[in-house]
Every structure is written in structure tokens, then in C-alpha cells.
Amino acid sequence: MSPSASAASPNTHEVIGACPHDCPDTCSMVATVQDGVVTKVHGNALHFHTHGALCTKVSRYPERTYHPERLLQPMRRVGPKGSGQFEPVSWDTALDDIAHRLQTIYARGPEAAQAILPYSYAGTMGLVQSESIAARFFHQLGASRLDRTICASAGAEALTQTLGSRVGMRVEFFAESKLILIWGSNSIGSNLHFWRHVQVAKRNGAKLICIDPRKTETADKCHEHLALLPGTDAALALGLMHELIANDWLDHDYIEQHTLGWDALRARALEWTPERTAAVCGLTEAQVRSLARDYGEAMQRGEPAAIRMNYGLQRTRGGGNAVRAIACLPALTGAWRHRAGGVLLSSSGTFPTKRNALQRPDLLAGRNPRTINMSTIGDDLLRPASPSFGPAVEALIVYNSNPVAVAPDSSKVVQGFAREDLFTVVLEHFQTDTADYADYLLPATTQLEHWDIHTSYGHTDVLLNRPSIAPLGQAKPNSQIFRELAQRMGFTDPCFAEDDESLCRTAFGDAIDFQALLDHGFCTIAQPEAPFAQGDFPSASGKCEFFSQSLAQQGLDGLPNYIPNWEPMGAQPEYPLAMISPPARNFLNSTFVNVKSLRAIEGQPLLEIGADDAATRGIASGDVVRVFNTRGSYRCVAEVSARARAGVVHGLGIWWRKLGMDGSNVNELTSQALTDMGRAPTFYDCAVQVERDSATPHASKQEALSAA
Ligand SMILES: Nc1nc2c(c(=O)[nH]1)N[C@H]1C(S)=C(S)[C@@H](COP(=O)(O)OP(=O)(O)OC[C@H]3O[C@@H](n4cnc5c(=O)[nH]c(N)nc54)[C@H](O)[C@@H]3O)O[C@H]1N2
Ligand SMILES: Nc1nc2c(c(=O)[nH]1)N[C@H]1C(S)=C(S)[C@@H](COP(=O)(O)OP(=O)(O)OC[C@H]3O[C@@H](n4cnc5c(=O)[nH]c(N)nc54)[C@H](O)[C@@H]3O)O[C@H]1N2
Ligand SMILES: [Mo]
């Protein structure tokens, strides 16, 4: 739809855009614009997946955009690194100096150019404002490549090694399922638009089972909740298989025709008796047997059983294997035969995105720069030059990410960013924890101010985002900032001049109907209703690969297995508790923490702790506690809560360090150890101890609470 006059006022019109945030829902977002100002945003009622509703946080998008602390002009550091002291400068001054600094490194040749590192993630999921002109720029430079692992790469690799790609059930058909396992997902908090389908299914008699160490608001609404220990999901899935085999709740024909490695998987699963499974998972045998009966018998009755996994379950050492084990289940029972059966973790492999056209890896022209893993940025910024590592990182360009708050083992990350000899540029909307360490801070536009185009990892529609207002202050789109830098670096390839609307077209070429996007704001990728009813998996063998030859060739176990956590609960006497740090509902990772109305709902950084674990430590709700391990220490407010099972605490994420209690956040405690596959972080694999903070007198705790 083009901007159209509404009946309300001749100066009011609506513009259809897309929510840019890192969330499976990717909503169609309509902005109401009055006299050049966005007065509100709402969910597009015409878009099936959005269903007319945005979540609480994104309905505050105008508050975020017009925030008094929005960054609206380029800034240059004046104080010491990390002090957050800046002076305004002109765009010309900032870009000339940045280009000069990069040019100095680039001119030393291709080996030295790797001392430049981009650092970005999904602050916006838009294909244009994430990796389009930026990727072209870093390819042309021959900068180090960034391995973008911080969220989903263990699960993505696991799905690819099992089903062949990041694909699964179509989300809308969960409404017809008769049994839904919500596995490692707090859907109400982080995938709200999926929950609508679950409610329809529930009204039609479906049974809902939540599998999550934390008793989340989603668990509250399910018929059953299995509070397993963090990182034991593969054991539970194997135990489930044991029971499917023991009771012959199998679809032998489906297994025969459409799977690979059944005999080997069968032998592995038979080792996982309910007794062993229950002991490893911290559940009862009855819970394991009952889950298997529900899952096995559903298909025997011809009732579709569906599994919604989310990325929460792959943030431990064995996260990839866990996703693989769970992804095998629907092939055992033949659940894939029905459109309302199967599994969904991500739909992102569905889209015919023309990544090479957007990102132009050909600009490397034969150079093969090293790759740095974003999840170990703490260690990598501190690494000196060496033959195996290459040059030390000398220049860092951060956009769409807040690594000082979100990357694991923050004390290392902070030390790295504090290096006096590191030149850091941050493109941002706000002066985040990361921005405090910038040499130059560049103001970026928000989704209301720029063009973009979006895929989704929870549904299969493409969405177009039209700008609804002109850029605020001197803000520029990321794409434009990199265009202007490219020009100053003397990069003359015409691809650096491609404008944003054209990039939106380039993203899919002829594979989608761009006119439909211009007219409606979204279009659907054609897809079968039950993608694997007849097998046809996008894997090398065309089958669901219980055994993965490709993993075996990497020296890994070809079959899914249970891999214990790096830091299992109770393994270290000094740090006996297992901590997970899932999202706080009103924040989106570290985004929105500085939006006052949303921070007011969350109150203070919180640690949920079970009654027994609190009692043995003399901790009551509202007490300030210190959570600590060998990596660091973090202060927050305790909530003695039935949401926490014995032995497991929840440090809800991800506060800005400077808005927390004493300038740190939960990532002070998390480690840089990686997952079994996908080189991903292990945020939820973290042993800690908790103590009441005796340094804090009771009165000031109360003050702290009432101030919240
Ligand atoms: N409101 C809100 N929504 C979000 C986000 C946010 O920060 N806030 N983040 C977005 C992002 S970046 C992503 S990647 C997606 C998905 O983001 P996720 O972080 O996957 O979000 P959740 O769906 O909350 O899944 C986490 C759930 O997994 C549980 N969990 C932790 N460890 C384990 C385990 O070992 N096993 C099992 N079975 N469960 C475990 C946690 O208790 C939590 O309830 O959500 C997006 N949506
Ligand atoms: N302990 C713990 N740590 C975690 C997690 C956890 O569950 N527990 N979750 C992890 C996960 S799943 C993820 S995905 C990562 C997320 O980590 P990040 O991708 O870094 O996400 P955000 O914290 O939301 O920070 C995104 C930043 O991008 C900025 N931004 C948004 N749009 C634009 C734009 O158009 N231009 C520019 N220049 N900037 C923009 C925002 O202002 C924001 O500061 O965190 C991970 N860290
Ligand atoms: Mo994520």
C-alpha cells in the first residue's frame, strides 16, 4: 500500500512496514503518521501471521524512536575509552577520519587488512540494513570475516545435518495438532504470534506439554511441564525413542522409506531406559514414560503430534546434538505424514534469498581472509598477532549489535574494547554499553526511517519495510554510512552506489512478486502443506538423516547423543547451581532496556531462585544477592520463585550493564566455551554460587526496590 490518506485527518496517513527485531514472528507493522511524525504503530490486520497485533515492546517503537537520548549526530570520543564522553562532529569529519584510519591499515596489504573486523548481528533483521552494502564494503576491504554464531548456529547446523536445511512444519498448522510439545521455548514471551495457533489447538482438545527447566508463563498455560535440568534434552529425546521402540509406537514404513541410519539409532536409543533418562534429566521415570506414551500413542490414534523447539535449548555444550535428537522424532512416528505433525525450529531455509547478489563475496577477488567467531570476541580482541591467528585486531566496526552487553564472559569483552590501541566505530541508535567504548559513534536510522526487506525464521512470508518518516536529526541508514565510507576509500565498483530500494529488489530478484510487496507489504513463498509427507528431505540422501555421514567425516558422532554440559549442575562444589539466562519478556536481547516504560515493567535485574536453594542461603525475595563464579560476579535482586527448580537459577536477560545495579550484567558469568556443532556460545551452561549481599543494608535494598 502506498501511503494513503485516512479519514481521521487530512494530514494523517498510514505506512506499512515490518518489525525489524530478532524474533521468529516478523510482524507487518503499520505506522500512523501525522504531520511527518509517527504517532503510533500497530499490527497489520491483513497479514495472517501478525493478526492485527504487535507485542507490548514493539508497540512502544515510537517511544524508542523519539527517545530523548536518541543519537542524532556523529560523535567523537574525548574522554578515556569506556568513559562515554564524546563531542559532536560533522559527518565529513567523522567519515574522513574513519576512512583515513582504515586506509592506513588496508594500504599495508591483504594480510594486514585482516586487522579490520566487522561485528554485527540482528539488531535489525532487514536484509538491506544488515549485510548488504556493509558486506560489500568488508569484502572489498578483505577484512576479517565474522562467524555470526551468537544465537542460532548450533541448532541451525543440527537441523541441516538432520533434515537437510533450516525448514520444518508450517507454523499455521500447529492449530490443527492434537499434541504439542513446546520444547525449550517460552513462546508467550518470545514467539507470541505462535501462541495464537496453540490456543486454537488447545480449544480443539490438544494436549500441551512444555519442556523447559524454568516454569515459564508458557509452562503455566500448558497441561504439563517437565522441568528437566539444563542441557539434558538429548537424553530425554533418546529416552523417548527407547519407549517408542519398546512399545512399538513406530511407523515402520516411514522409517524404512524416508530415513537413514535406523539400526544404529535404534541400538543407541535402547541404551536410554526410562531409569537412566530420568536420572540424567532430573525427572521421574513416570514423567519420561508418560511423555513417550503421549507422543507415541497420538500417532497410533492417527492424531498429529507437533514439536515447537526454540533456540533456548541449544545454548549448552550438547545443544546441536539435542536439536538433532529431537528433530529425529517425527520420522520415527511418521508424524510428518500430516500437515499438523512434525517439528519446527526455524523456517529461514525456505527463502530464495539472493545472498551473493546482496553481499558480493566475489569482491574478495581471490583473497581468503580469516574468520573470527563473534562468540569468542572477548578472547579474540585480546589476542596478539601470531602465525596461527594472524594480525591482532586493530579496527572494529560494530553495527546492529551490542557485544559489550550480549557476548559471553563480559569482563574479557570489556578488557578487549578498552584497549587503547583499538580503533572502534559504532553505528547505533543509542549510547549503549558498547557505544561507550567507541572512538566514533555514528547515528543510524530506525526502521521508521529507512527501506528494508525481511524474511522470517518463524513463518514463510517476505515483508517490505517502507520508511514512514524522514531520518531524525543527522541519522543515516547503515547502508548509506557504508556507501559514503566506500566512496572515501576510493571503492569505485558501481555496486557501492546501489540505493536501498534497489537493494530490496536485488534481495530476491525474480523469485518473488515485488509489486505485491509494494501493494500489500508482504507476500508468501509457495510451499507444500506437509513438506516431508513423502520424504523428500532437502538432505544429501533425500532422507531424514539419523546418521549423518557429514558429521562423521568431521570426526564427530554420526548419531545424535547426549553430551553433558561443560558445567553440569552440582559438578563443582564451590559453584553448585546451574544458571540459565533467558530473555526478560519486555526486552529484546539488550534492546528496549533504555525505554523507560518497558524497564519499569521489568523493575530490576532479577535472579529467580527456588525456595529450598534460597532458604539454605538465607535469601528472601527482594534481597540483593551476589551471583558469582570464576569468571566474575554480578549483583541483582533475588526473587524466591516457584519458576525455579532445585539446583537451577535464572538470571533474566539482558540488562545494559550501566542500567544494572553496579555496572555489570549476567554475561559477567557466562563462558566462551562453545557448542558441539555450529561453534555457538553456551550461555545456559554456567555454574554459579549465590549469596546474600551482606554489604547492602536492608533499607537501601528497599529503596532500590521502591525506586524500581
Ligand atoms: N520478548 C523477547 N522475545 C524474544 C527475545 C527476547 O530477548 N525477548 N529474543 C529473541 C531471540 S534473539 C531469539 S533467538 C528467539 C528465541 O529466543 P530464545 O532465547 O530461545 O527464547 P525462548 O523462547 O524464551 O527460549 C528460551 C527458553 O529455553 C529455556 N531453556 C534454557 N535452557 C534450556 C535447556 O537446556 N533445555 C530446554 N528444554 N530449555 C531450556 C529457557 O528457560 C527459556 O524459557 O526469541 C526472540 N524473541
Ligand atoms: N546471557 C545471555 N546472553 C545472550 C542471550 C541470552 O539468552 N542470554 N541471547 C543471545 C542471543 S539469542 C542473541 S540473538 C544475541 C543478541 O545480541 P545483539 O544482536 O547484539 O542484540 P541486541 O542486544 O538487541 O542489540 C542490537 C543493537 O542493534 C541496534 N540496532 C538496531 N537496529 C539498528 C540499525 O538499523 N542500525 C544500527 N546501526 N543499529 C541498530 C540496537 O539499538 C541495539 O543496541 O544476544 C545473545 N546473548
Ligand atoms: Mo537470538
User: Is residue 456 within 8 Å of residue 520, measured between CB atoms?
Assistant: no
Q: Which bound ligand lies closest to the C-alpha atom of 685?
A: 1
Most distant CA atoms of the chain, gap in Å: 72
Protein residue whose Cα sits closest to atom 28 of ligand 1: 312
**Which backbone phi and psi does 446 adopt, to 5 degrees?**
-95, 180
Say what the pLDDT of residue 704 is: 45
What span, in angstroms and rounded, lies between the C-alpha atoms of 101 and 560?
A: 48
3-state DSSP assignment of residue 327: helix
Does 683 contact ligand 2 (Cβ within 6 A)?
yes
The mean per-residue pLDDT over the stretch 255-268 comes to 98
Q: Per-residue confidence at 3, pLDDT binned at 50, 70, 90?
A: very low
Taking alpha carbons only, the member of 289, 293, 265 closest to residue 544 is 265
What span, in angstroms and rounded, lies between the C-alpha atoms of 94 and 76?
A: 7
Protein residue whose Cα sits closest to atom 7 of ligand 2: 582
Q: What is the atom index within ligand 2 of the atom nearest the CA of 434?
A: 44
Q: How far is the CA of 123 from the centre of ligand 3 (A)?
A: 10
Grid cell digits, residue 392: 591482532
Does 145 contact ligand 1 (Cβ within 6 A)?
no
Does 604 contact ligand 2 (Cβ within 6 A)?
no
Minimum mean pLDDT range among 91-95, 651-655, 680-684: 651-655
Q: Which bound ligand lies closest to the C-alpha atom of 583?
A: 1
Each residue's pLDDT tens digit, 462-487: 999 999 999 999 999 999 999 999 99
Task: Please give, one letter per residue, the 3-state secondary structure of 223-258.
Answer: CEEECCCCCCHHHHHHHHHHHHHHCCCCCHHHHHHH
Does 141 contact ligand 2 (Cβ within 6 A)?
no
10 Å CB burial of residue 300 (0-12, 13-18, 19+) is middle
Each residue's pLDDT tens digit, 371-380: 999 999 999 9
Q: How far is the CA of 642 from the centre of ligand 2 (A)?
A: 29
- Ligand 1 site-directed mutation target among 188, 190, 348, 586, most atoms within 8 Å of CB: 190
Task: Please give, one letter per residue, the 3-state secondary structure of 600-617.
Answer: HHHCCCEEEECHHHHHCC
Q: What is the DSSP string of 66-87?
A: T-TT---S-EEE-SSTTS--EE
The separation between CA 654 and the C-alpha centre of its own chain, rounded to angstroms, equals: 12
Each residue's pLDDT tens digit, 40-99: 999 999 999 999 999 999 999 999 999 999 999 999 999 999 999 999 999 999 999 999
Please give the C-alpha separations between residue 368 and each of 113, 341, 495, in angstroms, as whole numbers.
11, 43, 21
Average pLDDT, the chain: 95
Does 312 contact ligand 1 (Cβ within 6 A)?
yes
- Taking the CA atoms of residue 648, residue 649, residue 654 and residue 657 in that order, the dihedral angle to the nearest 10 degrees is -130
Q: How far is the CA of 466 from the centre of ligand 2 (A)?
A: 22
Each residue's pLDDT tens digit, 578-609: 999 999 999 999 999 999 999 999 999 999 99
Say what the pLDDT of residue 8 is: 57
What span, in angstroms and rounded, lies between the C-alpha atoms of 31 and 174?
A: 30
Minimum mean pLDDT range among 90-94, 116-120, 422-426, 692-696: 692-696
User: Is residue 562 within 8 Å of residue 237, measured between CB atoms?
Assistant: no
Say what the pLDDT of residue 694 is: 79
Does 121 contact ligand 2 (Cβ within 6 A)?
yes
Say what the pLDDT of residue 10 is: 75
**Which backbone phi and psi does 236 adopt, to 5 degrees?**
-65, -40
Q: Per-residue confidence at 696, pLDDT binned at 50, 70, 90?
A: low
Q: What is the CA radius of gyration of the chain?
A: 25
Does 588 contact ligand 2 (Cβ within 6 A)?
yes
Sign of the alpha-carbon dihedral angle for 232, 238, 242, 245: positive
Does 393 contact ligand 1 (Cβ within 6 A)?
no
Sign of the alpha-carbon dihedral angle for 505, 510, 511, 516: positive
The separation between CA 498 and the C-alpha centre of its own chain, rounded to angstroms, equals: 29
Protein residue whose Cα sits closest to atom 11 of ligand 2: 151
Say what the pLDDT of residue 184 is: 97
Does 26 contact ligand 1 (Cβ within 6 A)?
no
Q: What is the atom index within ligand 1 of the atom nearest the CA of 189?
A: 1
The mean per-residue pLDDT over the stretch 205-223 comes to 98
Taking alpha carbons only, the member of 220, 201, 200, 202 closest to residue 210 is 220
Taking alpha carbons only, the member of 483, 398, 408 closest to residue 116 is 398
What span, in angstroms and rounded, lies between the C-alpha atoms of 410 and 683?
A: 12
3-state DSSP assignment of residue 693: coil
User: Is residue 633 within 8 Å of residue 379, measured between CB atoms?
Assistant: no
Protein residue whose Cα sits closest to atom 8 of ligand 1: 588
Q: Which of the pair, 2 or 438, is modelled with greater confidence?
A: 438
Say what the pLDDT of residue 25 is: 97
In order of start, what are the domains of the chain with their CATH numbers?
75-151+351-524 (3.40.50.740), 155-345 (3.40.228.10), 577-706 (2.40.40.20)
Count CB-CB contacts under 10 A for residue 285.
Answer: 15
Grid cell digits, residue 156: 541451525
Does 186 contact ligand 1 (Cβ within 6 A)?
yes
Does 564 contact ligand 1 (Cβ within 6 A)?
no
Q: What percent of the chain shows pLDDT beyond 90?
A: 95
Q: What is the atom index within ligand 2 of the atom nearest the CA of 447?
A: 35
Q: What is the atom index within ligand 1 of the atom nearest the CA of 583?
A: 7
Q: What percent of the chain shows pLDDT beyond 70?
A: 97
Grid cell digits, residue 308: 515447537
Say what the pLDDT of residue 5 is: 42
Q: How far is the CA of 511 from the centre of ligand 1 (A)?
A: 32
The mean per-residue pLDDT over the stretch 166-188 comes to 97
Does 399 contact ligand 2 (Cβ within 6 A)?
yes
Protein residue whose Cα sits closest to atom 42 of ligand 1: 214
Q: How far is the CA of 707 from the centre of ligand 1 (A)?
A: 28
Protein residue whose Cα sits closest to atom 3 of ligand 1: 190
Each residue's pLDDT tens digit, 314-330: 999 999 999 999 999 99
DSSP for residue 510: G
Q: How far is the CA of 587 from the centre of ligand 1 (A)?
A: 12
Q: Per-residue confidence at 278, pLDDT binned at 50, 70, 90?
A: very high
Say what the pLDDT of residue 175 is: 98
Q: How far is the CA of 310 from the centre of ligand 1 (A)?
A: 6
Q: Which bound ligand lies closest to the C-alpha atom of 449?
A: 2
Q: What is the atom index within ligand 1 of the atom nearest the CA of 214?
A: 42
Count CB-CB contacts under 10 A for residue 148.
Answer: 19
